[in-house]
Structure 1
Amino acid sequence: MDATFSFTVTEQQSGKNLLECLLPCIPYLSHEQWLGLTTSGLVQVNSVSVGEGYVVSTGEIVLYTVPNYQEAEVDTGWSLLWSNEQIAAIHKPANLPVNRTTRNVYNTLVQLLRRESPWSDAHLLHRLDLETSGILLIAQNNQVARQYQSTLSNLIKRKVYRAIVHGQPSWKNLEYECDLSTLPDSAIRCQMHPVEDGKGKKSQTNFKVIATCTEFSMIECELLTGRKHQIRAHLASLGHPIVGDKIYNHKGVFYLQRLERPLIDKDYDVLLSRHHLLHAYELTLNNLWQEGEDSIVIQDTAFPESWHKYLSLFTD
């Protein structure tokens, strides 16, 4: 398929050659390929085709089309949960990257919103991991994003996730706290580990067991801090890794294996899910738009299909 992308020139990009700004957009396209797109009229600035030597200015809109574009298949079924005149809460499917990756540039949540929603300048206010489903908050334009990103804690009052984990915890409610950090000798560089002696960042999660069956439990997870992989790392360190977690379950062997080759059905039979079963379930916002009004509570009950067989196992 032919894919069309756009971006607005930032102050940092202003004064640079157009090709210099285009090169990072799709990493696998060479300078010569970008030059070919430009000379073919497939690159425009403010709806006008320009040459290779064009120098961009702040605020200009660059539009470019890549013929026969291909990338990894993802679930593009986002939906709107709530919105006002400035921000929106979006349902993100599992296995949809929120922003560009080395494998996906066109089909990311941000790009989908810019193409399919009324908000052609949508920006993320926070992030979810690739495989995590659920509520994601976005700003409807860059000006709103700049307004809220630096003071997000004033806007977001409470974040609650749900997870399907292995085993039955010995506790019903637990407030778990530890310092988290990567380890220099870890085979998985992005993996977070509990550390001591002040070498990591403080992390804190409130856990509550919602339901159990013989082999699995559903846990409610309230974030009190927002560290990388916090819920996944905490549950794994407690002996109850999330079902399908390639990094924090099975000693990370499937994550490392995927670096060498795509996982096959036999691998997923062991993992029990094609993605980890973590869902951003509830988001409570301080009502900054109507003084004296109650907080805004947003829920996402659209659990991915992979959850359904586990939900049917649980009894209160």
Structure 2
Amino acid sequence: MEEDNEKYEHWRITVDAGQAPVRIDKFLAEKNPYQSRNRIQTAADNGCIFVNDVPVKSNYKVRPGDVIKLMLDRPKHDTSIVAENIPLDIVYEDDDLMVVNKPAGMVVHPGAGNFTGTLLNALAYYLRDLKTFDPNDPDVGLVHRIDKDTSGLLVIAKTADAKTALGKQFFYHTTHRKYNALVWGNFTEDEGRIEGNIARDPKDRLRMKVFAPSSGIGKEAVTHWRVLERFGYTTLVECVLETGRTHQIRAHMKSIGHPLFGDETYGGCEILRGQRSCSYKAFVENCFKTCPRQALHARTLGFKHPRTGEQMDFTSEWPEDFRQLIDRWRHFIQGTTRDTFE
């Protein structure tokens, strides 16, 4: 029986006219931040990376005009967004936009491992009768994103004009966004500013890392924080974003030694501060179970209406898991003497 060697195109990219010669594994790793260089090298070694319809090895140097394809032995997954009847917590809606309160655990946009059950799948169903809204059209829909396990407010554009106008506000940082977060550790000051470029961690492509502003690595990012409540070993803070980088608050807080409570990606799922007693360890473990995610909530969102210019401001109450987590720490601090933390 003859072996079936048919391959299917999964993606392609054409090299820019001004591109300098560079190894294809390095080139593709920069163009595909979710894929490691080692994985790309393996794909090339297995004959899956084609340049101008010819398979190449990972040391091939790309040239201007090269057409690079990833060819696999299975058909490409259909990434079109399918309407799903998923409940939405709609805070506000008019003919131009919607503001929704996203629960923790919901992915915003379909992607690897999450092709269903996302916010966009829910929007596709909710707006199924709106002729101007196509969930597969990038000119409408999500204006910004928050992480899967972050709860809180998002704005969705129902028209192309609304998305353009709102997108400019996010680009020029004229929107107003405040997050509440529970972080490990106590702060010596009541407020502060974190400045540090953010880029993919070269050792873990699913995590972001903070680099010095002068390093030339990554994108500029600035976070302002303010203490709302102190619990000795943890602190409730308000974060205001000047920029909106991927994992910005999570990476910035990690960089100053205050990872978000429960944030597995950035080391917040360990007991980083506190007593050695069994009762304290049990208390923290119960806190992890109460809020089994990073303790981060997009609490406020403000912007100018894309058509009328009116200032729109929204506030989202804490979800139940976040509220219970804060209540647990409040009860803990009330039963602990101040000198315990000194």
Q: Which category describes the TM-score, using the shorter chain as reference length? A: 0.5 to 0.7
**1:308 aligns to what?**
323
* Residue 99 (1) aligns with residue 109 (2): yes
Alpha-carbon separation, structure 2, partners of 1:137 and 1:204: 22
Partner letter of residue 154 of structure 2?
A: L
Cα deviation for residue 215 of structure 1 reads: 2.6
SS state of the match for residue 209, structure 1? strand
Maintained 8 Å contact 1:211/1:219: yes
Percent identical residues: 25
CA positional deviation for 1:221:
0.4
Match of 2:232 in 1: 214
**TM-superposed deviation, 1:195:** 1.6
1:133 aligns with 2:143: no
2:197 maps to a residue whose letter is D
Offset at 1:116? 2.9
Q: In the alignment, which of 68, 77, 99 is matched to residue 24 of structure 1? A: 77
TM-fit CA distance, 1:310:
2.3
Does 1:233 pair with 2:251?
yes
Q: Distance in 1 between matches of 2:166 and 2:231?
A: 41
- CA distance, structure 2, for counterparts of residue 64 and residue 288 of structure 1: 27
Q: Secondary structure at the match of 2:235?
A: strand
Q: How does 1:16-95 map to 2 (within 5 A)?
A: 23-25=76-78, 77-95=87-105
- Structure 1 length-normalised TM: 0.64
Alpha-carbon distance between aligned partners in 2 of 1:162 and 1:64, rounded to the nearest angstrom: 33
- Where structure 1 has 5 or more consecutive residues not aligned to the other structure, the ranges are 1-21, 27-61, 70-75, 253-267
Q: Report 1:172-211 matches (<5 A).
A: 172-184=190-202, 186=203, 188-196=204-212, 197-211=215-229
Q: Work out the number of aligned pairs and report it.
A: 232
Q: Which residue of 2 aligns with 1:161?
A: 179
Q: Does 1:298 align with 2:311?
A: no
| Residue 155 to residue 228, structure 1, CA distance change in 2 (3 Å) | closer
Corresponding residue for residue 11 of structure 1: none
C-alpha spacing 1:200/1:246, structure 2 compared with 1 (3 Å): same
Q: Tell me, yes or no, if structure 1 residue 115 matches structure 2 residue 90.
A: no
Greater CA radius of gyration, 1 or 2? 2
Cα gap change, 1:242/1:171 in structure 2, threshold over 3 Å: closer, same or farther? Answer: same
C-alpha change, 1:283 and 1:270, in structure 2 (3 Å) is: closer
Residue identity in the other structure for 1:285: F
SS state at 1:284 partner: strand
Q: Secondary structure at the match of 1:202?
A: coil
Deviations 1:2-56 (A, max 9, x none): xxxxxxxxxxxxxxxxxxxx94325xxxxxxxxxxxxxxxxxxxxxxxxxxxxxx
In the aligned structure 2, how far is the partner of 1:90 from the partner of 1:64?
19
Q: 2-side partners of 1:304 and 1:193: how far apart? A: 28
Tell me the TM-score normalised to structure 2 length.
Answer: 0.60
Conservation of the 8 A alpha-carbon contact between 1:165 and 1:216: yes
Q: Secondary structure at the match of 2:156?
A: strand
* CA displacement 1:93-135 (0-9 Å, x = unmatched): 0010011122332311011122135656351111111111100
What CA RMSD, in Å, does the superposition of the two structures yield over aligned residues?
Answer: 3.2
Q: Distance in 1 between matches of 2:96 and 2:301?
A: 17
| Alpha-carbon distance in structure 1 between the residues aligned to 2:81 and 2:302 | 37
Distance in 1, Cα, partners of 2:104 & 2:257: 24
Distance in structure 1 (CA, Å) of the matches to 2:206 and 2:185? 25
Give unmatched runs, 5+ long, in structure 2: 1-74, 136-140, 271-284, 335-342
Q: Secondary structure at the match of 1:189?
A: strand
Contact 1:94 1:133 in 2 (8 A): yes
Using the TM superposition, give the Cα deviation of residue 173 of structure 1 relative to its aligned residue in structure 2, in angstroms.
0.8
Alignment match, 2:295: 277
Q: How far apart are 1:200 and its partner, in Å?
A: 2.6
- Measure, in 1, the Cα distance between the counterparts of 2:261 and 2:233: 11
